[in-house]
Every structure is written in C-alpha cells, then in structure tokens.
Structure 1
C-alpha cells in the first residue's frame, strides 16, 4: 500500500420522516413498506430493513448514537419508521416512494449532531446509519500499520459526520477528513445516483463540509489514506489551579498552533476536587492530551516542543474569568483544539469549512445534567446554564463579524428554519454566515440547484432561496 492509497467505504443510509399530513395515519409504514418491496429484489431479506415503533429494537437503535438526549424528549417528535437500505438501489427507491407518499427524508450517517437533527423533526418519523469511525479504523489497521485517516476520537460516530466537516488529532498534519475525500457516490433528491464525475464540481465541493442533511444521501466515500508512523507517542499532562494552571494554559495557547505539525496538543478544562488541605473544595483541572507522530526517544520531540512563543488571543486575566465561569457550573467541560500546520496552508475556497489560516483554536463548550421526568425543570436548567454566560464573556476574545460557529457542533439557538422549509435567505443567513462565513451564499446556490423542492431539509439545513434575488 502506497502513501496515496485510498479506500471505498459503503454508507447505505436513509432517514425517513413522516410529514404532518401523514402523522395521524397508521398505514403509512405499511404503505411505504409495500412500495419499496414491490420495487426491489424479492430475494432480499426486507423484513430486516424495516423497524417500526412497536418493534422492541426501535428505541435502542434510535437512541444508540444520540449525543444529546434533549432530542429524545417527548415534546420533540421523533421517527416512526427506521429504514436501513440493503443496497444503493433501495436508497433510490426509498427517495422515490417517500416523494410519492409525502414523507420527509432525513439521512443519518453521523451520530455527531449535538442537536439531534437526524433523530427528530417538527413533522416526524424514521432513519438509519453507516460505517462508524471505529469500523473505519479497524479496517485500516487490518490492512496497514503505516496508514490512517484524519477522523475523530468517538468510535461510534459515523464517518459521514466527520466528512461533512469535523476534525481531530491529525488535523494539523493532514487537514480535515473532508480534505481527503477523492470521490463520492450519492443519491440526490431526484433519486439519481451521482459520483464525482457525473455531479457538478459545486456539488462535490458542497458535500465535503457543507453539513449533513442537505444536497443528497451519501452512499460511498472514497477516501485518501495518509501515511503515519508505525509507532506514535501519546501523553497527558495535568495541572490544577493550585499547580499553576493559569500560566500553563497561557503558555500553551501561545504555542499550540505554531508547533511542528507532527505534534497535536489539545486541552480539556473541567472540574475536580482540590488536593490541598481544604477537603471537598472544587477546583479546575486542565488536561493536555498530546499525539506525536513519531517515537518519544531521541531529541526530535524535545526540539519540537521548544519552538518560540507568540502572543495568544486570551490574556491571563481573561483566563481567570474562565475559571470563575466554569466553577459556577455543575459539570462543565471546555475543549480547546489547535489549528495551524496543514490547516493554515489549505485554501479557504477548497471546501465549505471556513476556519483555515488565521484560526488559532477551536473551542467547544459542554455541560451535562441528570435527565428527569419533569421537562419543565429541564428547560429551567437550560435557561440558567452558566456556560451561556461564559460564552458571552468570551466574546472579546474570539473571531467576530459574525461570531464564528462550527456546523458539526450544531446550535439551534443560532436560529432554525420554518417547518415548511420556507425560511428566507436573510433569516437563514443570520446563522449560516456563522457556520460558513462567505461560503454561505455558494452553498445556498448549490442546494437551490440540486434540490429545488427542498426535499432534503431539517431545522438547520441549507435553504433553497436564491441570494441573488433578495
């Protein structure tokens, strides 16, 4: 296997959601089942491809990769039918039948959607998933000890979620997963199967980072595998406030995006119990998780870590403000991952992902709590989340005009589409420009051309209005 090796990954998948007009019908599942079966090979085990709500496995499959249990609340309508296509032709048939029956289609190839948009809808119904990151890594490991793919750490997440724009430890060496896609096969909203040669260059550009749930249903990704050493070095360094975490973090942020691209160091900030004499007192722990593409022996790693420092974006007094904000939360987590390296060299026009040269870090804010039966108490907790205040506190220190966001860390607070998908371009742009900056208009134009009926849509899908007409 050479350094330019590639792999083809099948991702047969479809999420089928009932429209409002069908929500009260008990026969929609049967009607869909009959239509799909009548148009497919009778020798296929079709009974295994359909999972309805009264099936004992329905709930466990629906919830198996949900990252945010808020999407499973009773008030948020969920899928009524899960359809797991057995081949590419069935994906085509599913799209055709869904159109005729007025069923909305949602695609679940990700498992990384923090707002659960692959699981819920304002009109309601079903879905499915494809190859996970863990399966991809396992396949590569069986074939070669010196190749990898720049995906993520969550092994149960679908590869499609990362190709749509996500990142992780190899980002500084090889860029995003989307930067290493060489071909794709999708079913578009008209049920046509397209590959890179038959689809437009704009569509191939859009599906590599433009967010899931728009443009088409992915079937196959052909990925470029990247060379990696057979032995790598990983290490974790921890510091609490009492151990000088403030100065340690300040120095890290000055250097992390300028280090050798073979070294990736991210930092996790979370609560822990203090180890000093004041038993039970809470403090902040910073954990620096590192991957170095090489051996730890020899002096290269030490040389890499002695690079000159450049001033970071967040002063020490602001770091102290972060500690105060985190200490107000019950179970906060802040993750800061550096860019630089290959990410600074790839042109912003290459894919829809806009955070390239000039972006120092990606910041992820998380909090969690025990879910109870009282939905009102959950809403009250959400409204009082101190991380929202910390998010506002960080405003002077992050990229603005507009304030940037990451589409794979989806946030419905930025705005949602109307139920019928008729959101205007200016309304949708208030969030779209945060996710995609100046790529937003191009994505809208592409989706308007490839899905003029807005058949593939969700709360934050790409709209179909033409920005040139507004």
Structure 2
C-alpha cells in the first residue's frame, strides 16, 4: 500500500469515545480506510463490517473458539475488519490508531481466554483468516514455506505434504490441532509432538513480515534482530500485526508409528504414571508420549484413567524394542501400534477416524463457529513427583469432574537450546502440565462450577510445580495469573504475568516493546508493557 494516498483526517475527540454514536465511528473509520487503501467505500462492504452488517455476526463468530466469550453479554467489537490484503492490515492499524481505539488481532481464534476478540474497552477486531496463503519451496535450503498468519496448521501440513511428495517426506514441528491459526501459534512459541526431536516452531522461523505501529511492512532485515527475536515466542500482538512467517521444513521418515494405551487405578496406573516421568522426557527424541489423566466411571465405580498417546518417528518394531526395555509398566503390545505416514499421524492426532484411509483434504476443514465452553491453565514440573504426591493428585482428580490433566514431556532437542535464544524460557523443564476443562452447559451457574473445579485442582498442583514464579505457557493464555489495566502501574501489573510467561526474557521483551511501540498502541490484558516513563 502506498501511504502517499491523500489521507482525509477527521477531527475526533478521543476522551469521549464511549459517547460517540457507533455510526459516526464506523463512518470515520471507513473514510480513513478508504483513503488509505485508495478504494471507494462501496468496494469495502465485505471488509469493513459494522455491527449492522449482515455478515458482521457470522464473521465474528466464525473463529470464536471458546463459547464462554460467545454469549449475548460478551463484549463485541464496534467494527470487524476482514482483511483481504496486506494493505488492509496497514490501513486498519493506521485508522484504528487515529481514532484511538483498541485493536485486537485474530488469526485462528484459539486464544483460550479470548484476548484476540474480546475486550472491556471499546475495540475493533482485525480478522486475519483470509490471509492464509502458503507457498512451499522445496528447492530453498532443503525446503521452506511462507505461511500467512491466517493459515491453519492443518493447511500448513497439507501443503507441505502436497509439495514435498517428490522430494522425500517433510513436515513442520507445530501443534496437533489442525484448526489453530499459524500466526498466534508460532508467535507464542509453538509446540507439538515433534518438539523432542526438533524443538519449537519458532526454532525454524527464518524470516517474517509484520505491520508495525506506523503502518510499515517490515521483514527480518528491516525490523532488526531484536524485534524478530521478540515475535518468535513473545507473542506478536504486543509488537505489531504478523502477516506471515517463513518456515524451514524438517525431514520426517516415510513411516511413523502411533499408539494409545490406557490404564485405570485398578490396573496400576499409579505405577505407570510415576515411571512415565523418568522415561518420557529422557527416552529417544524420536518418541513423544503425551500422558492424559481424567476421572471416569467404570462399572459404576469412579476411578482415574491414565492414557498415553504417542508418536514415534520410526517403525513399530524399533518402538516395541525401545519401550519393552525402558517402560515395561506401560505394557505396550504390538496390536496397540499403527504404522502410517507422517501426515496420517497428524490426522490421527486430530482424532480423524480411520486416519490411514481418510482423505488428506480433511486437514483443510476449518469448522467455523464450533466451540465448547472451556478453561485452560498450565504449569511446569522440574523434578519427578513422588508416588505419594501422585496418589494425592489422583484423589483430588476424582472430585474434579470433567477436568483433564495433560503431561507433555520435554527433553531431547528442547533441553539443548539456550533459554534465551527465543522468548520461550521453559526449555529445561521436565514436562509441562495442561489443566483442561471443557463443558457444554451454558449459563453462569455451570461456568462458575467448572471454573471453580479447575482452579481448585490448580491449587492442589502448587507443591509439585515451579515456584517464584509459577511458570505458565503463553499459548495457554490464562487471565487468572494477572492482567494489565494500562494505567500508571502498567509495568508492575505486567511484571506479575510477564515473569510467569517469559522468566528472565521479560526484560528484553519490555525493551523491544518500548523501542518499537513507545505509546503502547498494541496492547491487551496481558501484553508486554513499555518501560515506566521517568518523572
């Protein structure tokens, strides 16, 4: 976009935004957007969407992935901008800033606490879902891909599979949910079931494009290494709007193996879970074993079910040999294992039925406007939990309803990368804990009950996880750990959650933020603050 287009500046009193009629706000924004993009307003009816637009609600709802924020009382943006081009993103930033509104940027909508599409302040939503172009080049340094921020991980995996067929199979180390947006996932660090082999998604980002607070499009060279570092694990929304990432692809074997094994307390799940802590983070980096624990009813008796779900980058025979030796408590059998291609394993992990015969195009399905009510929290464990500790947690889990506790092992490549190489500081931990609560019952009574169960178990975990601070994963966004009112105590408020997300890397993130967005335009309830201004 050429910013030399004549900009029609409108006088706007920012201190009285709440009293300005919505139509006036829309007309002011539309005129500014029209001037910035050199496009007549009548050509923007499917891009700049006021609340009166027929497609406003379907567009807003499409990528709300938590039903807690999809109610009649949930705060709604005054305008949704469904960007179709980079120039639309530039114009959105400049026009939102000129009107002094808050801007929320959404790629896939999987922000667990809704920070990409909800605010208690007057705000606009920039929807990036149309900026989903993916260009794979297998001739570039062993394979690379430019991925638009609005692309989903499923689309990324599908396009890599399509293009790399004749070059040997390739993949990318990222998440297992195919509808997650690439922009938010990667800028928050990005992890998946190949992280023990390859590390995080951000370890394979070689370039990026971002719109900064001045509406400029910057790549890695023009943004500089500090900003490039910050958006690779520090969350993009504090620094600008991510347009795209360039990713280095990784080779995957022609055959991989998956399995799922379940044990209840009566089947010695306690011994299995205890041993898992000594094996999963230390075994071959080709093996990723996720452990999930939940209260279930078996034969009218309430018990805890422990499930190990795994990906092995190799053949079944090698996997069986490895785990028979290292993890006999798992009682893995040949019939538990299935060999398949890497793309089929991505479908299997996404719970696609009959993944070995399903059409790969299933990875392109976005499933818009589908969500549960949910709450997520996270923790990190540094030393193995004793059997007594696990027994205590299992007893508490029996009274925690639908809560699912997930252990994700680290080790392998994760522990080999310096904790300051990217903003993600948790690489040396033993494993990560996800507290996952889903429910379908609408209403405040149900929400209060499920939220209380989740928070109670979180308190029971306290003795077994990191302390001072109690660390948390940015992409498992959790407003319980602190929020920022962006008043005179903004830095101190941000330091509370910032140290939990970023550890010592918080200080460098604040310096980058202060340099690139000194007026704190790109802000949300848990954004990186600027340095306090000296009096």
TM range (shorter): 0.7 to 0.9
Q: Structure 1 residues 161, 322: closer, same or farther in 2, change over 3 A? A: same
Paired residue for 1:455, among 512, 521, 534? 521
Residue 186 of structure 2 aligns with which residue?
163
Could you report, residue by residue, the CA deviation over 1:368-427 in whole angstroms, capped at 9, with x for unpaired residues? 333434x3x2564256x2332222222221111211111111111111111x45443223
TM-score by length of 1: 0.88
Residues 211 and 217 in structure 2, CA contact (< 8 A), matched pair in contact too: yes
Is 1:348 the equivalent of 2:407?
no
Mind listing any 5+ residue stretches in structure 1 that lack a counterpart? 1-18
- Distance (whole Å) between structure 2 residues aligned to residue 462 and residue 65 of structure 1: 24
2:127 aligned partner: 128
CA distance in 1, matches of 2:72, 2:526: 21
| Contact 1:325–1:386 (Cα < 8 Å) also in 2 | no
Q: How far apart, in 2, do the equivalents of 1:280 and 1:56 lie? A: 50
CA distance in 1, matches of 2:308, 2:95: 51
2 CA distance for matches of 1:393 and 1:402?
Answer: 16
Aligned ranges 1:57-206 → 2 under 5 Å: 57-124=55-122, 125-129=124-128, 130-145=150-165, 146-164=169-187, 165-206=189-230
Distance 1:94 1:302, change over 3 A: same
Equivalent residues in 2 for 1:233-272, closer than 5 Å: 233-272=257-296
Say what the alpha-carbon RMSD is for the aligned residues. Answer: 2.4
Which residue of 2 is the match for residue 330 of structure 1? 401
SS of equivalent residue, structure 1 residue 120: coil
User: Secondary structure in 2 aligned to 1:372?
Assistant: coil
Tell me the residue number matched to 1:362.
432
Task: Judge conservation of contact 1:82–1:127 (CA < 8 Å) in 2.
Answer: yes
Bigger drift between 348-357 and 386-395 goes to 386-395
Q: Compute the displacement of 1:442 (Å).
A: 0.9
> Match of 1:14?
none
Change (3 A) 1:296 1:382: closer
Determine helix, strand or coil for the equivalent of 1:172: helix
- For structure 2, the 5+ residue unaligned runs are 1-13, 129-149, 329-381
More helix by share: 2
3-state DSSP of counterpart to 1:388: helix
Aligned residues: 441
CA deviation vs aligned residue, 1:287-345 (integer Å, no higher than 9, x gap): 11000111213x46523663499x96111111111212221122111111000000000
8 Å CA contact retained: 1:423, 1:463: no
Residues 392 and 282 of structure 1, relative CA distance in 2, 3 Å threshold: same
Quote how far apart the aligned CAs of 1:91 are. Answer: 1.5
Give the corresponding residue for 2:370. none
2-side partners of 1:63 and 1:326: how far apart? 33
Partner of 2:34: 37
Matched, 1:389 2:408: no
